[in-house]
Amino acid sequence: MSYFSDLALQFIDGRWRPGSGTWEIIDVNPYSGDRIAAMPVATVAEVDEAYRAAERAQREWSQVNPYARRLVFERALRVIEDREQEISEFIVEELGGTWLKAGFELALSKDMLREAMQLPLRAEGRILPSPVDGKENRLYRLPVGVVGVISPFNFPLFLSLKAVAPALALGNGVVLKPHQNTPIVGGTLIAKIFEEAGLPAGLLNVVVTDIAEIGDALIEHPVPKVISFTGSDQVGRHVAQVAAGHFKRTVLELGGNSALIVLDDADLDYAVDAAVFSRFAHQGQVCMAANRVLVDRSVEREFTERFVRKIASLKVGDPRNPETHIGPLINANQADAITAQVDQAVDAGATVLLRGKTEGTLMDPTVLTDVPPGAPILTRELFGPVVLVIPFDGEDEAVKIANDTPFGLSGAVHTGDIERGVRIAKQIETGMIHINDGTIHDEPIVAFGGEKHSGLGRLNGESTIEAFTTLKWISIQHGRSAFPF
């Protein structure tokens, strides 16, 4: 696709240009292995240029009438709608996403832009009373200034837009560093969309680079006041430590090890459908994916038979084929790492209900049960098409197993009794959990985020306003104050 080559550049201060680094990030189709583009990396100097450009442009942007500011996001939405087929092809080509996944990601992205349109009008201040006669307290909600955004490879368009669009809408400048495996869909494509939508030059900058080139420069730089990071808990911990050392706020959306719980009164056919989608959407490369399916022992056999049968029917292969359910993992290293985790669990005594082969970046689905207590695979995030079926006896044991992980992002409970499901859901240590549904959900006005190692802070709706603005107290004394000396 020629458009990929057109976007294989840095976007700094409103100009498209190559990076000045001495080596290149090679963008590769994960299914075919074909080279999509080669991009010379941005250097520390170019990171500085990007932040300085955002800082300059933000001063004027913050003064733009909110009604005028929102028009940019209306136009950005139209750009996506007009180019939906082309963008879907990008997702299939660069991510190895299936057509179903591309449609899902585009729908989420469009909803996020619709929400961003509203944000300029919702950053409200307040007037508060004072115990001092004649005094007026005003609380102004202001942009933080510049936001640094580091986005992941799995849903790069949506998860970049999820931070970039609201931060811009609320009057900030942004520097975005996409993941090196998805530099176009997660980075320069977004710059192109906003350029076509008429966003003023310099407000959004995209630097395609790697920590091997810039170290922690993106986090340590003095300009950004907030760092928004989506990715693994290991890297998130490092981002939090570095940012805290420079007195920066962070929003961390990290990994998960979600449990989908099937109680004895659940609709089993429906629970199977929810569990299969929750585990195998985008090859399992979803932070909210149901790594573990917990099933009441009284219905375990019946559920498991149906579950394994449906998984075995999933088509694995070329993501360009509309009939494909499971495409490639992002790279061969990822596939090898997941395969090694499965081998380790089997060697430790886990029972194999379904075992697929691994060929390059393609992995057939694998289902394990009877995983020995203490096995590492039980508590880790599994970013691939592998699922663990875990039986339990009674609600208390289900809650204990679900919580036996350092992560706490999402989850689900399937039951015929809604209030029973809610009672259990309240005991699960997650930021989000869903009754009689899948584990993979994100809605633009509902707070999104995790507990424990799954992150810090929330995004969406009011939470996004809190994340990307700051409060300033201005008091006014009408009349004269009395001072003690």
Catalytic residue numbers?
A: 253, 287
CB-count burial class (<10 Å; 0-12, 13-18, 19+) for 426: exposed
At residue 443, the 3 state secondary structure works out as coil
Q: How many CB atoms lie within 10 A of CB 214?
A: 23
H/E segment holding residue 230 = strand 226-230
- Is 157 within 8 Å of 185 (Cβ atoms)? yes
Burial of 3 (0-12, 13-18, 19+ CB in 10 A): middle
Question: Quick one: tokens of 248?
Answer: 């920066």
The alpha carbon dihedral of 11, 15, 16, 21 has a sign of negative
Query: Per DSSP, which regions of 41-166 are E strands?
Result: 126-128, 135-143, 146-150
- Residues, the chain, total? 485
Unique residue bearing structure tokens 């407000």: 203
| DSSP 8-class letter at 155 | S
3-class SS of residue 304: helix
**Measured distance CA(98)–CA(321) in Å, rounded:** 8
Q: Which residues contact 290 (CB under 8 A, 6 or more apart)?
A: 258, 259, 260, 275, 278, 279, 387, 411, 412, 438, 439
Contacting residues for 110 by C-beta, under 8 A, at least 6 apart:
77, 80, 81
For 59, 166, 200, the CA distances from 63, given in Å and listed in that order, are 7, 16, 13
The burial of 279, by beta-carbon neighbours within 10 Å (0-12 exposed, 13-18 middle, 19 or more buried), is given as buried
CA 445 from chain centre, in angstroms, equals 15
Tokens of 24: 């290149």
